[in-house]
């Protein structure tokens, strides 16, 4: 899904606390899908020194007077400067980024590439009091937004090119706010998932619409919990057999991210491309029973597919998926059949293979 803002001049988002400092270096970006050509200037996002809807001490990104050309602008005391990019096509998502590089330079990135910049000294401008999304100065921009991210830092061209390919922020330093806007309800779409609590407040009527940009989660997180055998044995991952292109959320070992015996999203493994990894499980003993063999794993939100296979050495015992990742976490408890459990002859050679596609 995507967050639909700017249907009219009354329908927009507001944030008036913990706002971005629009007088210092910052970056704002999102995937933008124009819903209509208003044939007039429109505003996708803005930050301003005023506590109300005023443009004269603001920064903004939106469309030019033709209703479709990407535009950035800034103002001080009613004097303004701006820069334009290429026309956007209604119904075709494009990634836009606004970068305040310094007190005098405001840059526009379109489709992940630097496009143009405006110049004006804003060093005397008052502190930021308000952010708006979907409208400024009564000029709305009807659009669907996905993967809305903001940093209190000027990201490099390389960082912007990488971030546009991922719903999940790749850079965590200086992250101000993050709104994936892929959930199916408005409350979740307005929520800040950066951990900073910088949620948007609805003005008028906002909604969620069918997501249009095919943007992957970027890091497809996976948590694996142990195989359970009876009598109770918890065989958690203890080593990496083959990492492929999977990566740990921290450190260098995959297994250390997924070796807990109770779910925790604090650490995980992820993949940014099609790849397979294999993790060795702790050595167990034959329970002399065909019942109670369960493989539990948790898939965090994303937009790719993940398949899971339980093996004894190189022999497949059972496999599941591929599972399509969604906008919410999914928990799985896969119980082996009696025949599958009986196929295990060496409980010291169990492995879990994970494939992202």
Identify the domain containing residue 157 by its residue range.
2-209
Give domain status of residue 281, yes or no: yes
Q: Check residue 274 and give its pLDDT.
A: 87
User: CA-to-CA distance for 30 and 95, rounded, in angstroms?
Assistant: 6
Domain shared by 271 and 192, yes or no: no
Domain-embedded: residue 343: yes
Residue 215 located in a structural domain: no
Q: Report pLDDT for 318.
A: 95
Q: What is the CATH number of the domain that holds 21?
A: 2.60.120.200
Q: Residue 95: beta bridge partners?
A: 31
Q: Give yes or no: residues 152 and 288 share one domain.
A: no
Chosen domain end from 186, 209, 232: 209
Count of the separate structural domains present in the chain = 2
Pairing status of strand 79-87 against strand 94-100: unpaired
- Whether residue 123 lies inside any domain: the answer is yes
pLDDT tens by residue, the chain, 357 residues: 799 999 999 999 999 999 999 999 999 999 999 999 999 999 999 999 999 999 999 999 999 999 999 999 999 999 999 999 999 999 999 999 999 999 999 999 999 999 999 999 999 999 999 999 999 999 999 999 999 999 999 999 999 999 998 888 989 899 999 999 987 789 989 999 888 999 999 999 999 988 667 777 765 444 545 554 445 688 889 999 999 988 888 888 999 988 876 677 777 888 877 899 999 999 988 887 788 898 888 888 776 789 999 999 999 999 999 998 877 788 899 999 989 989 999 999 999 999 988
Q: Are the beta carbons of 329 and 298 closer than 8 angstroms?
A: yes
Same domain, 88 and 230: no
**In this structure, is residue 116 part of a structural domain?**
yes
The whole-angstrom separation of Cα 321 and Cα 62 is 42
Residues 226 and 205 in one domain: no
Tokens, residue 297: 């794993």
DSSP per residue, 148-163: EEEESS---HHHHHHH
Same domain (yes/no): 178, 314: no
Q: Decide if 150 is inside a domain.
A: yes
Which residues are 305's β-sheet partners?
Answer: 324
Rounded CA gap, 107 and 140, in Å?
21
Measured in whole angstroms, the distance separating CA 121 from the mean position of its chain's CA atoms is 33
- What CATH number is given to the structural domain containing 340? 2.60.120
Q: Select from 209, 233, 249 the last residue of a domain.
A: 209
* 112 Cβ contact partners less than 8 Å away, ≥ 6 residues apart: 95, 160, 161, 164, 165
* Predicted local distance difference test score (pLDDT) of residue 273: 77
Phi, psi (rounded to 5 degrees) for 190: -85, -10
In a shared domain, residues 204 and 230: no
What is the structure's pLDDT at 211? 66
Q: Are residues 67 and 169 in the same domain?
A: yes
Same domain membership, residue 229 and residue 199? no
* Shared domain check, 18 and 108: yes
pTM for this model (two decimals): 0.65
User: 122 and 53, same structural domain?
Assistant: yes
- Give CA separation, 140 vs 12, 65, 92, 161, in Å: 8, 12, 18, 27
């Amino acid at each position: 899904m995507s967050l639909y803002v700017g249907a009219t001049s009354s329908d927009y988002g507001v944030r008036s606390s913990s706002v971005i400092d629009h007088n210092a270096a910052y970056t704002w970006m999102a995937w933008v899908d124009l819903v209509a050509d208003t044939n007039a200037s429109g505003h996708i996002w803005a930050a301003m020194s005023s506590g109300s809807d005023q443009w004269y001490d603001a920064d903004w990104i939106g469309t030019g007077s033709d209703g479709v050309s990407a535009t950035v602008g800034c103002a001080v005391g009613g004097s303004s400067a701006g820069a334009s990019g290429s026309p956007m096509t209604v119904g075709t998502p494009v990634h836009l980024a606004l970068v305040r590089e310094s007190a005098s330079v405001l840059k526009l990135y379109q489709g992940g590439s630097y496009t143009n910049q405006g110049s004006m000294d804003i060093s005397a401008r008052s502190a930021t009091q308000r952010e708006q999304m979907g409208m400024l100065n009564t000029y709305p921009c009807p659009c669907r937004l996905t993967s809305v991210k903001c940093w209190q830092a000027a990201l490099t061209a390389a960082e912007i090119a990488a971030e546009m390919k991922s719903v999940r922020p790749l850079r965590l330093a200086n992250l101000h706010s993050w709104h994936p806007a892929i959930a199916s309800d408005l409350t979740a779409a307005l929520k800040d998932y950066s951990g900073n609590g910088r949620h948007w407040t609805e003005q008028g009527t906002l909604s969620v619409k069918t997501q249009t940009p095919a943007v992957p989660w970027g890091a497809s997180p996976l948590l694996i919990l142990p195989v359970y055998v009876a009598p109770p044995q918890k065989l958690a991952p203890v080593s990496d057999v083959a990492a492929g292109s999977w990566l740990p959320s921290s450190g260098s070992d995959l297994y250390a991210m997924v070796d807990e015996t109770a779910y925790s999203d604090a650490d995980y493994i992820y993949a940014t491309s099609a790849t397979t990894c294999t993790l060795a499980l702790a050595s167990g003993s034959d329970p002399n029973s065909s019942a109670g063999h369960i493989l539990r794993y948790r898939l965090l939100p994303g937009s790719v597919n993940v398949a899971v296979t339980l093996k004894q050495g190189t022999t497949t015992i059972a496999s599941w998926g591929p599972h399509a990742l969604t906008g919410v976490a999914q928990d799985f408890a896969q119980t082996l059949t009696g025949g599958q459990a009986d196929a295990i002859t060496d409980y010291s050679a169990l492995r879990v293979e994970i494939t992202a596609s």
